[in-house]
Amino acid sequence: MIKVVPGPASRRLGASLAEELKTSVLEVESKVFPDGESYVRLKGEVAGEEVVVVQSCYPPQDKHLIELLLLVKTIKELGARKVIAAVPYLAYSRQDKRFLEGEAVSGRVVLELIGLAGADALLTVDVHSEALLEKLSFKAVNVSAMPLIARYLSQLRLLNPFILSPDKKRAREAGLVASLLNTDHGYLEKVRDLSTGEVKTMVKGLPVEGRDVVIVDDIISTGGTIANAASIVKSQGARRVLAACTHPILAKGAEERMRKAGVEEIIGTDAVESHVSRVSVAPALAEALRKL
């Protein structure tokens, strides 16, 4: 029977996953030393066991990543037969290539570190770039939270919902949510300034008049992408605008920016533990683990 180790960043999700898998949790003691260094201590036996470490690497990314690496390495050294790193939010995955000369391909470095720590497999959720998961020395599986988000949305009383992706890259996800809600979808196109990070979204006509629009994305960070899309559909007569995402990073000012643009409700998952985490990704992780 697989054992679940909830890391300091994902204690709630780890507990939910253990419940899904009907297995036990091994606790982790953690603290930060006065100089800022991280400490973890595993409480329990792992020799000969298959273990899944659940540790999402949302902000503070570097701290959460170090804790993950310390846990994976320790569990391996203590004799676990197999260690699976479940990292719902894979930090740095947006830096999946060298956009500007001389940049670090940080997403790749993070994955290599997880492999070096001893992970036999990686499980992640709605990773920003699936290309990052190719050609690794260990098995990497990406699962989608979109069916779970769609199930949550189906319980809200939405009026003739329209599902919108704020950029072309997530059109597939919007399509999936729309098909599960038995409705239609569309996408916008955006460009991001590589130096300032500012997002520009192209205006296009959408069939949103008098309808509830749900904007779906993988990550909400500054909220700029969602705010632009919300302003566009509001100006075209949308009745209500909601935003749903897998990773509610919600950097400072993000919620205010989106609300000002007309977003009434923000729905996220516990891939990133936040006050908007209304959907648990535990069932998706459990299903993937059963297949691994």
**Interface mask toward ligand R5P for 58-87; x: CB under 6 A:** ------------------------------
Q: Are 123 and 143 in contact (CB under 8 A)?
A: yes
Total number of residues that touch ligand R5P (CB under 6 A): 14
Is 139 assigned a catalytic role? no
Nearer to ligand R5P, 5 or 188 (CB): 188
Q: Are 173 and 150 in contact (CB under 8 A)?
A: no
Catalytic residue among 73, 169, 190, 234: 190
In terms of Cα–Cα distance, which of 243, 246, 244 is closest to 284? 246
The rounded distance, in Å, linking the Cα atoms of 161 and 238 is: 10
Q: In the bound complex, what is the minimum distance in angstroms from residue 195's beta carbon to ligand R5P?
A: 15
Helices (H), the chain: 11-21, 61-77, 106-117, 146-154, 171-180, 224-235, 254-260, 282-291
Nearer to ligand R5P, 219 or 271 (CB): 219
Q: Are 88 and 285 in contact (CB under 8 A)?
A: yes
**Sites for ligand R5P among residues 154-183 (CB under 6 A):** 166-167, 169-170
Q: Are 268 and 274 in contact (CB under 8 A)?
A: yes
In terms of Cα–Cα distance, which of 269, 252, 255, 260 is closest to 217? 269
Return the range that interacts with ligand R5P (CB under 6 A); candidates 150-158, 180-188, 217-225, 262-270. Answer: 217-225
Nearer to ligand R5P, 74 or 129 (CB): 129
Q: In the bound complex, what is the minimum distance in angstroms from residue 78's beta carbon to ligand R5P?
A: 37
Q: Which residue's structure tokens are 């700029």?
A: 224
Q: In the bound complex, what is the minimum distance in angstroms from residue 119's beta carbon to ligand R5P?
A: 25
Nearer to ligand R5P, 4 or 263 (CB): 263
Examine residue 60 and say whether the peptide bond preceding it is cis (omega within 30 degrees of 0): yes
Q: Is 220 in the site for ligand R5P (CB under 6 A)?
A: yes
Q: Is 219 in the site for ligand R5P (CB under 6 A)?
A: yes
**Sites for ligand R5P among residues 195-214 (CB under 6 A):** 199
Return the range that interacts with ligand R5P (CB under 6 A); candidates 106-114, 175-183, 221-229, 232-240. Answer: 221-229
Q: In the bound complex, what is the minimum distance in angstroms from residue 129's beta carbon to ligand R5P?
A: 9
Q: Is 218 in the site for ligand R5P (CB under 6 A)?
A: yes
Query: CA angle, corner 197, sides to 193 and 202, nearest 5?
Result: 55
Query: CA angle, corner 253, sides to 111 and 199, nearest 5?
Result: 65
Q: Catalytic residues, which ones?
A: 190
Kindly list the residues in this chain that would bind ligand R5P in the complex (CB under 6 A).
166-167, 169-170, 199, 217-225
